[in-house]
Amino acid sequence: MISSSAARVGDRFRRHSGLVVLALALGLLGTMYAAFAPVSQADEQKTTASAEDVREGQQLFEGGCITCHGRNAQGVQDRGPSLIGVGAASVEFQVGTGRMPMARNEAQAVRKPALYDDKQTRQLAAYVESIGGGPQLPSGELRSTDKDVIAEGGRLFRLNCSSCHAFGMGGGALSSGKFAPSLQPSTDRDLYAAMLTGPQNMPVFGDNQLTRDEKKAIISYVQAQKGDQDPGGAGIGRTGPVPEGLVVFLVGIVGLLIATLWIAGKS
C-alpha cells in the first residue's frame, strides 16, 4: 500500500508538471522565434556614430537649432517641435534638403540650398539620434538597375505615391497651403528618408507597409525616370509633346485651309 506521504508527493508533482511543460514550451517557442524571425527594422538599420560625431553634432545643434528646438531638443512652443524620437533619418531629410533651418514659420518648409554640408548633416543626425533614438537610414546601395525591380517600383509608385506627387513626379497641391514637392531634385537618401519618416503631410511607410526592398524599388523607378529617355513621337529636338503637338496643329490647319480653298475654287 502506498504511504500517505508518497501520495502527497505524487499529487504535488502532478500539479506542477503542467507548469513545467508550459515553461519548456514557451522557452522552445522563444528560441525558434529568435532563430527564424526576420531581422527587425531597428536591427537592420542600426548604424554606429562615433562619440566625436555626436560631440560635433551637439555643437552644431547648440549653434543653429537650439533657438527653435530647445536645449534638450524637447521643442519650444510656437517655434519648433520636439526632436525626441525623430531619428537620424528625419534630420538627414530636413537638414540635407535645406528645409531646416526654416527662415520663418509657414504652411510648409520648402527645399532650398542646404546650410550644412553632408558631414555636418550626419553629425547633427548622430546627436539627435543619441538623445532620442528613432529611424536611421540603412547603409549600402538604395537603388537597383535591374529592369524587373524598376518595373515593380513603378507599380508601387503608382499605387502609393502618384496620387500626391503625380505620375510625372512633378508634385501637386494639397490642402491648407501645403503641397507634394517635385521629386526631380531628390537623391536616393532623400527618397528613402521621406518614406521612412513621413515629413509634413506625407504618411510614414514602415516596413509593414513597404518593405526595405520595396522602398529600394520605388527609388530605382523614380531615379530611372530622370534619365535621358525618348518620350516617343517625332524628334523635333526631343523637346517633348507640346511643341510636337503645336507643329501637328499648325500643319493640319494649313492643310485644311489649302484643301478648303481648292474645293472653293473648283466649285
What single string gives the DSSP state of each residue in 17-68?
A: HHHHHHHHHHHHHHHHHHHHSPPPHHHHT-----HHHHHHHHHHHHHHTHHH
Confidence band for 40, pLDDT divided at 50, 70 and 90? very low
The pLDDT value recorded for residue 32 is 65
Distance CA 150, CA 223 (A): 9
pLDDT tens across 224-252, in order? 998 766 655 555 555 566 677 787 788 88
pLDDT tens across 44-60, in order? 455 567 899 999 999 99
Distance CA 99, CA 116 (A): 11
Burial of residue 95 (number of CB atoms within 10 Å: 0-12, 13-18, 19+): buried
Distance CA 45, CA 39 (A): 10
Count other C-beta atoms under 10 Å from residue 9's C-beta. 11
Contact (CB, 8 A) for 221 and 153? yes
Residue identified by cell 531597428 is 42
At residue 180, what are phi and psi to the nearest 5 degrees?
-90, 120
The pLDDT value recorded for residue 229 is 62
The pLDDT value recorded for residue 248 is 79
As given in the structure block, the three cell numbers for residue 202 are 506625407
Distance CA 96, CA 109 (A): 13
As given in the structure block, the three cell numbers for residue 81 are 517641435
Coil/strand/helix, residue 76? strand
Least confident of 124-138, 150-164, 239-253: 239-253
Distance CA 197, CA 142 (A): 16
End-to-end CA distance of the chain: 132
Higher pLDDT, 124 or 231: 124
Host H or E run for residue 179: strand 179-180
pLDDT tens across 191-214, in order? 999 999 999 889 999 888 999 999
Given a cut of 50, whether residue 41 has pLDDT beyond it is no
Domains within the chain, CATH numbers bracketed: 51-132 (1.10.760.10), 147-224 (1.10.760.10)
As given in the structure block, the three cell numbers for residue 234 are 517625332
- 266: Cβ–Cβ under 8 A, 6 or more apart, which residues? none
pTM (two decimals): 0.69
